[in-house]
Amino acid sequence: MTTTRWWLIRHAPVPNPDRLIYGRTDLPADTGDSDALAALAARLPPQAVWVTSHLRRTRQTAAALRLPGSDMALVERALAEQDFGSWEGLSHDDVAEHRPEDARRFWTDPAREAPPDGESFAAVMERVAGAVARLTAAYAGRDIVAVIHGGSIRAALALALDLTPQAALRLAVAPSSLSRIDHHGGGDEGSDGGGSWSVTAMNALGTFSGSGR
């Protein structure tokens, strides 16, 4: 039995005083809380495979953790945050006021409906599951530290817990938090092709600020 451990870290908080929607918008993270980052770094394994998305808030957070390998992280675009399309840079109030029909359609089923020119959370779950399966096979038996996003961590937890998209949206993931999922089985098994998952931690060390993605 081979166990592959995923250490899922949500990036550090993003200053967002206007509470704008910024899924794929490339905003910087605030990595100034050195105590929180040091506590997080102390929980992580040595000699891990490091992965980030292509967005700088994840790369900044990985660099701030200052562990061996964090400066050589793999960049995996499939682990990026949900794409909110033409809603990027708007507030939810802006969307409700100026695009009411789009807002009503989206909120009828926020797990499966997509913003205009964006993607649904169900689509996020599909692409994250594919990336997790591929990397689990490539690094079977290793520790994988993935510094990614609230939405992509929610999707990874949903994979491990076999949740529907609607149920997965109930999961809250705090900035600078640590969650962990373990895959037990052969390295060539896909996300649903064999083996099993367990969840060993969720939201460790993180604190909720209620700010965006």
Q: Tell me, what CATH number does 48's domain have?
A: 3.40.50.1240
For the segment 111-167, what is each residue's pLDDT rounded down to a tens digit? 999 999 999 999 999 999 999 999 999 999 999 999 999 999 999 999 999 999 999
Report if residue 211 sits inside a domain: no
Report if residue 172 sits inside a domain: yes
Report if residue 36 sits inside a domain: yes
Full-model pTM: 0.92
Our count of domains for the chain comes to 1
| Placement of tokens 């102390």 in the chain | 42
- Measured CA to CA, the distance from residue 155 to residue 157 in angstroms comes to 5
Helix H or strand E encompassing 35: helix 34-41
The amino acid present at 169, given as its one-letter code, is: L
Report if residue 192 sits inside a domain: yes
For the segment 168-203, what is each residue's pLDDT rounded down to a tens digit? 999 999 999 999 999 999 645 444 457 899 999 999
CB–CB of 193/187 below 8 Å?
A: no
How far does the chain reach from its first CA to its final CA, in angstroms?
A: 36
Give which of 164, 170, 156 is closest to 198, Cα–Cα. 156
Report if residue 212 sits inside a domain: no
Q: Which domain holds residue 95?
A: 2-204
Beta strands in 24-155 (DSSP E): 49-52, 74-75, 143-148
pLDDT at 68: 85
pLDDT at 194: 73
Report if residue 210 sits inside a domain: no
Q: Which residues contact 18 (CB under 8 A, 6 or more apart)?
A: 91
pLDDT-derived band at 209, boundaries 50, 70, 90: low
Report if residue 213 sits inside a domain: no
Joined tokens for residue 103: 């807002």
Report if residue 134 sits inside a domain: yes
The amino acid present at 106, given as its one-letter code, is: F
